[in-house]
Amino acid sequence: MEVAIAGVLTTMIQSIERNNDKVRAMSKADVAPTIINIMEEMIAFPSVCERCLMFIGVLCRNNDESKSTLIFESSKDFGVYGASAKIATILQKYSNDPKIMEAGCDAIRGMCYLESNRKRLGDEGVCEILGRSLTRWQSNPDVSSWLCRAIGHLTNENDENREKFATIGSIVYIIELLQYNQQNALVLTEICWAIRNVAPNDENRERFQKSAGIDNVLAVFKYHIGTAIFVTEACRAMVAMISSEDDEVIAKMVSGGLIQLVMKALKKNPDSEELGHAAFNLLYYVACELQFCQKLVSADILDTLSMTLEAHASEVGVAEWCCRTVNKIAQLEGITSRMRGNVIKRLFNILTYIYSI
């Protein structure tokens, strides 16, 4: 029976991957209650549990704009029919099985498309299960990546889940995981994604500060300056750990070499729009303090600004944070005379573009 059901589920998974028509057909077939029932009746069989989780992950995966409505319906159905409780039970039962942990995290990621599912999963204890699993899977980069990915989605704009992770010590576990994987850019990217979403409340920012979160992110930053996706998430993670424009943590970032590291990353990855956005969002907070603003100018930020604006001036997010940063820099005495014509020209082009849309 186990082999037969696992085989059928495998065929179903293969049929719907990258096929929106079949995803739509599955959604109309009201398949969610059937999968939930299988998860309940066949929980003693790990291969079946794994494929049920994989099926939920594939059906709820939002990796195609044309699928957004389908994903919404699938996520809603699995949430309403009780998938959260079943996922929690399976992850608890098979916490030592790497394939089930990865499939479970993928299912969680997909279901978290809806805020209501983030709450359901949190209420079922999934936050605590994943948080405590970080130390168990520290030496497994694949499972660690999936855990951090799922944690990031669970805590995205959800303070209750952020607190659930924090109260069991997960912030310390995240930092330990970061220290353990210093040379693995893929794992570090997912860790920074988790930090970016766990950090944004005052209590968790303080916890990250006590755990030397900033120091540890900066320590690994230098190893992967050429990896755009990592440095982008690292910049976003550091922004999430800042509470205000005068937060004392900004001084810690600057003393840790932040300015030089971000400048190097921008020059190494000039084509990355996402990095331009994230980096200047972070540098804006540095520019808010006069003494650090002067350090930015000394580090040739005006040339870097010009380079970024030349490549991405039409991108609203990049343009916004570049302009905000320039506004802070322009308040330095005598700085406007040092702004080269190409910087002024790029800013003028931004204004022209904005007024044209």
Over range 288-303, report the average pLDDT: 87
Residue scoring higher pLDDT (66 or 175): 175
User: Amino acid letter at 276?
Assistant: G
- Kindly report the average pLDDT of the chain as a whole number: 89
Query: Is the C-alpha dihedral spanning 237, 140, 185, 313 positive or negative?
Result: negative
Structure-model confidence comparison of residues 33 and 326, the more confident one: 33
Report the predicted TM-score, pTM, of the whole model to 2 decimal places.
0.91
Write out the H or E segment, with its range, that includes residue 175.
helix 170-180
Tokens representing residue 96 in the block: 């030592």
Query: Where is 163: in which H helix or E strand?
Result: helix 159-167
Measured between alpha carbons, how far is residue 111 from residues 27, 82, 87, 319 in Å? 14, 11, 11, 33
Look up residue 44 and give its two tokens.
């003693």
Q: What is the mean pLDDT of residues 308-313?
A: 85
Q: Is the dihedral of CA 8, 10, 13, 15 positive or negative?
A: negative
pLDDT digits (tens, 9 = 90+) for 232-269: 999 999 999 999 999 999 999 999 999 999 999 999 99
Residue 64 has pLDDT above 70, yes or no: no
Structure confidence at residue 24 (pLDDT): 73
| Pair of tokens at residue 328 | 């802070």
What per-residue confidence (pLDDT) applies to 245? Answer: 93
- Distance between CA atoms of 285 and 294, rounded to whole angstroms? 13
Task: Please provide the distance, in angstroms rounded to a whole number, between the alpha carbons at the two ends of the chain.
Answer: 60
The pLDDT of residue 354 is above 50: no
